[in-house]
Structure 1
Amino acid sequence: MSLRLHAPVVLPCDPACTVLRDAVVDVVDGRVAYVGPEADAPEFSGEVRRLSGILLPGLVNTHAHSPMVLLRGMGGDLPLLRWLHEAMWPAEAKMKPDDIRVGMLLGAVEMLRNGVTTSAEMYFHGEQLTDAVLAAGSRVLFGAAIMDLPGMPWRPMADEITRWIDADGLRFGPDERIELSYGPHSAYTLTPEALGEIAVEARERGALLQVHVAESVEEDVAQRASHGSVPRLLEQAGVLGGRVLSAHSVHLSPEDVQIYAKYQVGIAHCPGSNTKLASGIAPLRSYIDAGVPVGLGTDGPASNDDLDLFEEARLAALLARVTSQDATAMRAADALLLATRGGAAALGRDDLGALEPGRWGDVVHVDVDDPAFATGLDAPDEQVLANLVWASGTRRVKDVWVAGKQVVADGETTNVDRREAQAGVRAVAARLR
């Protein structure tokens, strides 16, 4: 399968955030084969699509609980811990495995329509969740949620994901669209010993470990009192050293940041959820300056409440500017890279998040027939990037390809009927209320 996409502007999301003019993206057997000016492109015998607008890599959502579209709007005015205990966990206890598929299917549809081709999900019932992702045509890093709560011992949960990885491998499915990982929930739902044991299993398999860290001030007071901070607890427990993704990570000290830099712990920065739940504002610039890999996450659609990574990019940049009182603290290009290349790096994936030869051909087409682009694509590079990030966002996402296969056409998903997916969520949500 060979596909050439041509557009007036291509954003490969290389480290310099280059703006290519009159350029093409060649996808052969699912992976990018060439990106560059059409004038320099090699001969091509496959399908050629000439598009208006902008091409960029599929966005990477580094932290989500997408099946929670079933719970969207519940407890929306509660702080984090009350929201969990009073609204989320009681409703989730009523969920059936098939409900997870219903929720994830609509979540995947919503993300694809927003240009998000990959999400890192921490949730339950992985077989149903990954089946929904395969049906929609997107990618997922599924982190099996592991907690130690009354009636929910942690070890069987950890053993289950270990058996699955050992049976099917770390990545599988068409175009390796499924990756399995471990999702120990947090240091306040698991002991240090349990976290350490789970980390050993993950490292032995090269698997990602996803964990919530320091989301709010109140959640891990006991852990900070006994260990100084959650990152120090993770270091002392032997959790760090492999592929580790630290979700939220709002309240980190300079010493904590150095620990993360030492072990190259990835951070999933979730500014929308953190501001809505009044959890705090992460010092994003300090993480980046220290060399910590940082990507963006939406968190769950019951705490955000959308799955819009362009919105997260804008909010991350705006908060970085206002908290530092420095309008240069985060440029439009920096925000775009967080949503693409940065997200892939935070997940420990070098095959996503950029349009470079060898990476998967996950491509987003943004139409520019919109007031946001009234100044035209012949404007200077910085202005084109600014109009994409600050003014347009997801509303002009028109087409999306995953591994060269079209999964969104003219704004609607091609594999799943969006309205049917919405009706499925509506029926389940009525039972969970």
Structure 2
Amino acid sequence: MSTAEPTLLIRHARAIATFDDDRREWRDASILIRGSLIEAVGPAADLPATADTVIDARGHLVVPGLVNTHHHMYQSLTRALPGVQDAELFGWLRGLYPVWAGLTPEMVHVSTQVAMAELLLSGCTTSSDHLYIYPSGPQGRVTLDDSIRAAQAIGMRFVATRGSMSVGASAGGLPPDSVVEREDAILADSQRLIETWHDPSHGAMVRIALAPCSPFSVSQDLMRETAALARSYGARFGAHGVRLHTHLAENDHDIAYSRERFGCTPAQYAQGLGWLGDDVWHAHCVKLDDEGLSLFAASRTGVAHCPCSNMRLASGIAPVRRMMDAGVPVGLGVDGSASNDAAHMVHEARQAMLLARVGRALQPPQVHEGRRFFGCDLGPAEMTARDALALATRGGAQVLGRDDDIGRIAPGWCADLALFRLDTLAMAGGAVHDPVAALLLCASPQADHVFVHGRQVVQDGQLTTVDLGPLVERHNRLALALAADCRAS
């Protein structure tokens, strides 16, 4: 019996944007995949014409699978909830904590699959998720395992972060006491999850990160002990060890809390607790000041930029171009489904591009050679379409510590790919001029085909791993039950 790995040929693509080190883009090109890895990419004439499976990619753009660096997937159950539609961060959280206190294991499993289905259909193949609330009830206690098993079933590459909250309102924190955990229990469960699920191997489908939620919901002791626990695995796992994640400098209230409670800025808070380094990434960083930006750049601390959520909650505009120019690793995150109300990675990249341009236009006038100018000529180039796609692919891979196996199309890298049709109404005109830029400059499309680790999980715009109809019906039933339970309590 032959033990040779199956081959897959994506043939005659209209365009391939590799996002490799040379940023090569090919026309009329093919990709040969053997098993779960890319074996070759280049002009179709230079690659084989046959394989075990052949995908006719004429009329398609192929990009690396997109990478989502920050999410709260359970929040898909509370999208567009009326009471918090127009709230800023702290008010939004206070309104939703009591609802999320009713989460069950089934709700977490189903909402994770709904969020992942939406991501996969947008061309996203790898996602992190930040689950930081673990209620207990008649159906049992919520665990991160519920999310991991959901990811395994739907076929998404997953960085599951063990979130936590330990400081309730009675101790000066933001969340109600009913949703916080004991710190010894948090650390014990964190260790259990690492030992059970963390895979340091090349192409791993599941890795664990540790993620105390925010400065206003955990103690400084928990931050220090969590970092020590994660880094204690360094000798065992090496470069693919357990990473650290949290929220930081999200809005003005967040800054004020850190100054009042700790007497420092959020970046100084992170530095004092050992939460800077190339094994750490922080979500948002909208209000990162000059000193903080320098600290992040010097330590290679990553940032998950969440443009839609930042706009939805009116948190502000993160200085993404300044971060990039300084050498801060930056990836994109859709953030929670209840603060974005969508999980479409192409749309998120488009919004990152547009918001950076608006942010430049809002800057004060500058002086150049004695003449004042407002930067309008520079604003549109603040973030190009290719810049934003780089954030959504190799930028996200770097932030998640995966820049040696995902985020680009190159031999030896994982076969995580998204194919988009270029012959649609939305792409008419744009694709004939620049098929790569058209992906973001034209209306945000759904993916036509998606491959994760060489496995096709989206075919002709349809998921192949779960039946969406029953999943959405079940999800909506649970969403109504969750809201009803909160009103009744």
> Aligned with 2:252: secondary structure?
coil
AA of the residue aligned to 1:141 = V
AA of the residue aligned to 1:40 = D
Once the two structures are TM-superposed, the CA of residue 374 in structure 1 deviates from its matched residue by 2.4
Structure 1: distance between partners of 2:259 and 2:31: 49
Once the two structures are TM-superposed, the CA of residue 352 in structure 1 deviates from its matched residue by 1.2
Structure 2: distance between partners of 1:265 and 1:399: 33
1:36 aligns with 2:6: no
Once the two structures are TM-superposed, the CA of residue 228 in structure 1 deviates from its matched residue by 2.6
What do the CA deviations read for 1:144-165 (whole angstroms, capped 9, x no partner)?
A: 1111133522331222121221
Change beyond 3 A, Cα 1:45–1:311: closer
Structure 2: distance between partners of 1:120 and 1:406: 20
1:116 aligns with 2:124: yes
1:358 aligns with 2:412: yes
User: Superposed, which structure 2 residues align to 1:27-426 within 5 Å?
Assistant: 27-41=33-47, 45-52=51-58, 53-74=60-81, 75-86=84-95, 88-123=96-131, 124=134, 125-148=143-166, 149=168, 150=177, 151-171=180-200, 176-205=204-233, 206-225=241-260, 226-325=262-361, 326-350=379-403, 351-375=405-429, 379=433, 383-395=434-446, 397-426=447-476
AA of the residue aligned to 1:111 = L
Once the two structures are TM-superposed, the CA of residue 357 in structure 1 deviates from its matched residue by 1.6
Structure 1: distance between partners of 2:80 and 2:121: 21
> Aligned with 2:158: secondary structure?
strand
TM-score by length of 1: 0.94
AA of the residue aligned to 1:105 = Q
Structure 1: distance between partners of 2:435 and 2:50: 29
Structure 1: distance between partners of 2:257 and 2:354: 32
Once the two structures are TM-superposed, the CA of residue 373 in structure 1 deviates from its matched residue by 2.9
Structure 2: distance between partners of 1:168 and 1:59: 23
AA of the residue aligned to 2:110 = V
> Aligned with 1:109: secondary structure?
helix
Once the two structures are TM-superposed, the CA of residue 316 in structure 1 deviates from its matched residue by 1.2
Structure 1: distance between partners of 2:440 and 2:23: 13
> Aligned with 2:293: secondary structure?
helix
AA of the residue aligned to 1:132 = A
Once the two structures are TM-superposed, the CA of residue 187 in structure 1 deviates from its matched residue by 1.6
Once the two structures are TM-superposed, the CA of residue 385 in structure 1 deviates from its matched residue by 2.3
How many residues are matched? 427
Change beyond 3 A, Cα 1:254–1:50: same
AA of the residue aligned to 1:137 = G
AA of the residue aligned to 2:351 = L
Could you tell me whether the CA contact under 8 Å between 2:285 and 2:303 is conserved in 1?
A: yes
* Deviant stretches of 4+, over 4 Å: 42-45
> Is the deviation greater in 411-420 or in 321-330?
321-330
AA of the residue aligned to 2:321 = R
% identical aligned pairs = 34
AA of the residue aligned to 2:227 = A
> Is the deviation greater in 91-100 or in 154-163?
154-163
Q: Which runs of 5+ in 1 are unaligned?
A: none
> Aligned with 1:158: secondary structure?
helix
Structure of higher CA gyration radius: 2
Once the two structures are TM-superposed, the CA of residue 292 in structure 1 deviates from its matched residue by 0.4
Structure 2: distance between partners of 1:303 and 1:168: 29
What do the CA deviations read for 1:105-154 (whole angstroms, capped 9, x no partner)?
A: 11111111111111110005211101111111111100011111335223
Could you tell me whether the CA contact under 8 Å between 2:7 and 2:52 is conserved in 1?
A: yes
* Equivalent residue number for residue 7 of structure 2: 2
Please report the RMSD computed on the Cα atoms of aligned residues, expressed in angstroms: 1.8
Structure 1: distance between partners of 2:430 and 2:182: 58
Once the two structures are TM-superposed, the CA of residue 42 in structure 1 deviates from its matched residue by 5.6
Structure 1: distance between partners of 2:203 and 2:406: 12
Once the two structures are TM-superposed, the CA of residue 46 in structure 1 deviates from its matched residue by 3.1
Structure 2: distance between partners of 1:15 and 1:402: 21
Structure 2: distance between partners of 1:346 and 1:168: 20
> Is the deviation greater in 240-249 or in 218-227?
218-227
Structure 2: distance between partners of 1:300 and 1:167: 26
AA of the residue aligned to 1:60 = V
Could you tell me whether the CA contact under 8 Å between 1:171 and 1:177 is conserved in 2?
A: no
> Is the deviation greater in 143-152 or in 210-219?
143-152
Once the two structures are TM-superposed, the CA of residue 251 in structure 1 deviates from its matched residue by 0.3
